[in-house]
Amino acid sequence: MNIKPFESKVWLSSPTMHGEELEYVKEAYETNWMSTVGANINESERIVCEKVGCNYAVALTCGTAALHMAVKLAGVKQGDKVFCSDMTFDATVNPIVYEGGVPVFVDTEYDTWNMDPVALEKAFELYPEVKVVVVVHLYGVPAKMDKIREICKRHNAVIIEDAAESFGATYKGAQTGTFGSYNCISFNGNKIITGSAGGMLLTDDKEAAEKVRKWSTQSRENAPWYQHEELGYNYRMSNVIAGVVRGQLPYLEKHVAQKKAIYMRYKEGFKDLPVSMNPYDEENSEPNFWLSCMVIYPEAMCKQVRGEQEALYISEPGKSCPTEILETLAKYNVEGRPVWKPMHMQPIYRMNPFVTREGNGRAKTNAYIAGGTVGKDGKPLDVGMDIFHRGLCLPSDNKMTAEQQDVVIELVKKCLR
């Protein structure tokens, strides 16, 4: 195949607009409901509740704001340890620190790339005082929520569900965003449903929803003047942004179907390569397939070293690495990216506790770096680090054509020849 660079960029995951969004934004403009109240907000909250199956949704400026409100609702105070998924974006973690909490990172499992229930159980053995657990559904793939909920219930811990990437995904028939006491979704520009910005706090607790509505509007009291008795935040979603969200929401199922088709084409295209796609529990879950990712088999990895901001590799016949593949895609005007760098590897959180399924993960991480130490099951002790080393996110844009995807598949094959 004679491959030439694309004239128009093939994006990782860009907004897919339909037209109704503009009508609702125009309605907000023409009726002068341009602030943080209006029909678009009300309808977006109603529709999300209907789609997800929760009682209350509170529209906020972003998913991070929703997570912050969830952490505050859970009662996290200065010095409180909070268990958190390790392989995620730092927006999952930062709100814990906003409230003075101390994130304790729980390692990843290979089955779903999400929080390992075995490691979570080990974390409770090490830190039995913990009462809040933040669980992420990475790249739209549901975590093993039945096991995680059972463990948390046994330890009397509140679950905060970060469903920012998984809106529209289901686990055992239930939508993600319904498994925790306080749950969060995102409408960021690259998400499966976008408002260009925005997010929501989801809950079945009426009192919790009312608290978030108050806190997010600067905690204004019900008085004829501006009365404030507790700390507040400017977190409410604009009615204009909500217009975009409202116009997008009817297309959730269509977007999920398009993302799934992309994932399946990659899976078929790579079937003869020493790689696999980001996995999910096919019996119990249906992801929203937000991003299609791949991981290279250890024996097919060429030598690769990553620093804090740079990466080096040595090309080898029949082998490759994420750095080589991503650089190759970029040469052809195709966007990809590394998988999330685990939080315990981030400079800002490098001193925080980290727990693997065999206990304190810090010493084990150092051993893995030094000599590839493995656990009793013969697998790397630091699963998140291993996936980060071998994994990458492929272009998963709804508007990518099958022909464009065929080229991406061919470029990956070319790297591994």
Catalytic residue positions, numbered: 191
Identify the H or E element spanning 206. Answer: helix 206-215
The DSSP H or E segment spanning 51 is: helix 39-52
Which token pair is 80? 């409180």
Q: Measured between alpha carbons, how far is 355 from 83 in angstroms, rounded to an integer? A: 9
> Which is nearest to 89 in space by CA: 131, 144, 159, 139?
139
Q: Which residues make beta-bridge pairs with 63?
A: none
End-to-end C-alpha distance for the chain, whole angstroms: 14
CA angle 176–177–181, rounded 5-degree value: 130
Question: Nearest to residue 302, comparing CAs of 365, 411, 389, 395?
Answer: 389
HSE value, Cβ hemisphere, 13 Å, CA-based, for 29: 8
Between CA 403 and CA 4 the distance in angstroms is: 13
In the three-class reduction of DSSP (H, G, I as helix; E, B as strand; rest coil), residue 320 is classed as: strand
Residue 35 three-state SS:
coil
DSSP class of residue 112? T
Radius of gyration over alpha carbons of the chain, in Å?
Answer: 22
